[in-house]
Amino acid sequence: MIVAERKPVNEIVEMIKDADRVLVLGCRGCVSVCSAGGQREVEILASLLRLGRMKEGGRLETIEATLVRQCDREYIDEMDKWDGEYDAVVSMACGVGVNFIANLRPGVRVYPAVNTTFYGGSAEQGVWSEQCAGCGNCVLHLTGGLCPVARCAKSLFNGPCGGSQNGRCEIHKDVPCIWQQIHDKLENLGRDDDLDAIAPIRDWRTAGHGGPRKAVREDLTV
Ligand code: SF4
Ligand code: SF4
């Protein structure tokens, strides 16, 4: 899932300083799962924003709602029922949702309430960890299922750098060196010969370095 975390409230208060009526809009997708932008977080943020405005001697009206997803046109259309009732939207979806609203509602001011951070999973209660960087050319079949793009600080493809010490990455003692883990995993699977293969120079255009990416499924287009 896409992992996100809420921005500091004072940043959001500053964004909406010119608005008196705000639609605080959550998303029931990834940001609900990582407790950044679901219905509960919408209610908390809306009350913090009202409080923030009150402290400044003003009054803020909020509409609080969540869409099934903010990355899908059909759900964005549900916003129409609040037309004329708000001056700005504070989206608690990931950056995709904010972009979708901006694209599909050109006359609407939309502000991001969360920082979109990475693609990850729930490692333990209240902890999410990055697992994939969406590079567009997956190599997990070569690396024992462990991602060298997202999980190596240098996105190395041919083994560890000189900073790998005792299974730890040089960036921090609490960060495992993923190349040590790839080595151990392949060895465990009896596939350590795979480590001898030299990965060719990578074409990073699939990772977004060639501009915005688009996925087209001809069988699903109309
Ligand atoms: S190799 Fe690319 S697609 Fe595969 S997990 Fe890593 S970043 Fe994601
Ligand atoms: S120590 Fe390991 S994880 Fe860290 S940058 Fe070097 S190879 Fe990558």
Residues 108 and 138 in one domain: no
Residues 29 and 114 in one domain: yes
Measure the CA dihedral 54/98/44/77, to 10°: 100
Let me know if residue 20 belongs to a domain.
Answer: yes
List CB contacts of 78: < 8 A, sequence separation 6 or more.
Answer: 67
Q: Which atom of ligand 2 is nearest to the CA of 171?
A: 4
Instruction: For residue 171, give its domain range.
Output: 133-207
Question: Residue 19 phi/psi, 5° resolution?
Answer: -105, 140
Q: Which ligand is nearest to the CA of 146?
A: 1
How far apart are the C-alpha atoms of 185 and 166, rounded to whole Å?
16
Percent of the chain scoring above 90 in pLDDT: 96
Q: Say what the pLDDT of residue 101 is.
A: 98
Residues with CB under 6 A from ligand 1: 132-135, 138-140, 147, 149-150
List CB contacts of 178: < 8 A, sequence separation 6 or more.
Answer: 146, 147, 148, 151, 152, 169
How far apart are the C-alpha atoms of 222 and 220, rounded to whole Å?
7
Q: What's the pTM?
A: 0.92
**Cβ–Cβ < 8 Å for 122, 100:** no
DSSP secondary structure code for residue 80 in this structure: G
Let me know if residue 11 belongs to a domain.
Answer: yes
Residues 91 and 35 in one domain: yes
Let me know if residue 125 belongs to a domain.
Answer: no
Let me know if residue 212 belongs to a domain.
Answer: no
| CB of 182 sitting under 6 A from ligand 2 | no
Residues 111 and 16 in one domain: yes
Average pLDDT, the chain: 96
Q: Say what the pLDDT of residue 42 is.
A: 98
Let me know if residue 222 belongs to a domain.
Answer: no
Predicted confidence (pLDDT) per residue in 107-140, tens digit: 999 999 999 999 999 999 999 999 999 999 999 9
CATH of the domain at 101: 3.40.50.2300
Report, as an integer, the average pLDDT of 134-150: 96
| CB of 163 sitting under 6 A from ligand 2 | yes
Q: Say what the pLDDT of residue 202 is.
A: 92
Checking if the pLDDT of 10 tops 90, the result is: yes
Q: Say what the pLDDT of residue 222 is.
A: 78
Residues 8 and 112 in one domain: yes
Let me know if residue 215 belongs to a domain.
Answer: no
Number of domains, the chain: 2
Of 3, 131, 132, the one to substitute when testing ligand 1's pocket (max ligand atoms within 8 A of C-beta) is: 132
Question: Residue 9 phi/psi, 5° resolution?
Answer: -60, -40
> Where does a domain end: 57, 89, 118?
118
Percent of the chain scoring above 70 in pLDDT: 100
Residues 138 and 181 in one domain: yes
Predicted confidence (pLDDT) per residue in 52-94, tens digit: 999 999 999 999 999 999 999 999 999 999 999 999 999 999 9
Residues 36 and 86 in one domain: yes
Let me know if residue 78 belongs to a domain.
Answer: yes
List CB contacts of 5: < 8 A, sequence separation 6 or more.
Answer: 34, 36, 114, 115, 117
Predicted confidence (pLDDT) per residue in 200-217, tens digit: 999 999 999 989 999 999
Residue nearest to atom 1 of ligand 1 (CA): 138
Let me know if residue 108 belongs to a domain.
Answer: yes
> Where does a domain end: 83, 118, 153?
118
